[in-house]
């Protein structure tokens, strides 16, 4: 008699996270992986990525998280992390996102980049990056956690697809030529009141530093960034909790604005 394959800790953790999307937040994965086990975190993330791809979801890019030195220190790490962006995570500029689709969401203002060509070099340089990026856009990332009260370790958040949920992109692409991505100001407002401010320098001193890090990591994994990929480069200011019945807008100097409505339709 052939015994059925045994579930591994990676499989078990991946299943718990998938179930949490519908059943609600879960406890951290400390009974399955160590809090600082970055490699296992990415294995869990990859397992769920394969699961969702097999069920028809489509990858459109990547998101970079933990780009703030303060947040890195809180989690005891010295590097960012990344997650996958799926096509069904995109919320159109000005469109409505319904609260019932999220658990404990927060929003942050970011700069998004869209690639015009593949980045296949084994060790992509800043020059490769500048040649590959087609344009930049103002963006809002809606992050969420499948863990109770956002009590996460670095392994937890990586396993949880870098705490991703949805993202909003502006509608007016900007060439990098002439853009100041370091001192550009960011203001995130809710119902017209500014609730978070920051600047490009808050993202690893320069948002392209974060993108260069991502390009090198993915190239090393044999999963290089491709033409058309959207890259959410990381928060420019503190993230803020979302409350139902609100309008959220980001404005970034030189890039313009993007917004969405957070209410039931």
- Over residues 230-245, the mean pLDDT reads 96
Using an 8 Å Cβ cutoff, are 167 and 232 in contact?
yes
Give dist(CA 212, CA 127) in Å, integer. Answer: 10
User: CATH class for domain 9-262?
Assistant: alpha beta
Local structure of 13: helix, strand or coil: helix
pLDDT 10s digits, 114-130: 999 999 898 999 999 99
Q: Buried b / exposed e across 134-162, counting CB within 10 Å, b at 16+?
A: ebbbbbbbbbbbbbeeeebbbbbbbbbbb
Answer whether residue 238 shows pLDDT above 70.
Answer: yes
Let me know how long the chain is: 265
Q: Could you tell me the pLDDT band of residue 1, with boundaries at 50, 70 and 90?
A: very low
Structure tokens at 221: 């994994």
Answer whether residue 165 shows pLDDT above 80.
Answer: yes
Burial class (CB in 10 A: 0-12, 13-18, 19+), 264: exposed
Q: Could you tell me the pLDDT band of residue 71, with boundaries at 50, 70 and 90?
A: confident
pLDDT attached to residue 170: 98
Answer whether residue 6 shows pLDDT above 60.
Answer: no
Which pTM does this prediction carry?
0.94
Q: Could you tell me the pLDDT band of residue 3, with boundaries at 50, 70 and 90?
A: very low
pLDDT attached to residue 2: 45
Residue-averaged pLDDT of the chain: 94
pLDDT attached to residue 212: 96
Segments making up each domain of the chain, as ranges: 9-262
- Over residues 236-242, the mean pLDDT reads 94
Using an 8 Å Cβ cutoff, are 27 and 21 in contact?
no
Quick one: DSSP state of residue 26? B
Answer whether residue 65 shows pLDDT above 80.
Answer: yes
């Amino acid at each position: 008699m052939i015994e059925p394959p045994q579930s591994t800790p990676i499989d078990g953790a991946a299943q718990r996270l998938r179930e949490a999307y519908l059943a609600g937040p879960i406890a951290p994965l400390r009974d399955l992986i160590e809090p600082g086990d970055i490699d296992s975190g990415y294995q869990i993330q990859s397992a769920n990525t394969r699961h969702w791809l097999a069920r028809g979801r489509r990858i459109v890019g990547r998101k970079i998280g933990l780009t703030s030195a303060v947040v890195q220190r809180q989690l005891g790490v010295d590097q960012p992390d990344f997650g996958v962006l799926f096509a069904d995570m995109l919320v159109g500029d000005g469109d409505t996102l319904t609260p019932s689709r999220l658990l404990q969401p927060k929003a942050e203002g970011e700069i998004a980049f869209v690639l015009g060509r593949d980045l296949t070099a084994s060790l992509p340089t800043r020059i490769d990056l500048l040649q590959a990026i087609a344009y930049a856009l103002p963006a809002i990332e809606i992050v969420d956690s499948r863990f109770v009260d956002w009590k996460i370790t670095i392994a937890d958040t990586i396993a949880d697809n870098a705490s991703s949920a949805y993202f909003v992109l502006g509608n007016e692409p900007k060439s990098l030529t002439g853009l100041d991505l370091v001192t550009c100001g960011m203001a995130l407002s809710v119902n017209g009141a500014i609730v978070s401010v920051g600047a490009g320098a808050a993202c690893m001193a320069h948002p392209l530093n974060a993108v260069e890090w991502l390009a090198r990591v993915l190239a090393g994994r044999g999963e290089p960034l491709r033409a058309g990929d959207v890259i959410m480069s990381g928060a420019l200011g503190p993230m803020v909790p979302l409350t139902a019945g609100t309008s959220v807008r980001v404005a970034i100097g030189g890039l313009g604005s993007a917004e969405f409505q957070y209410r039931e339709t």
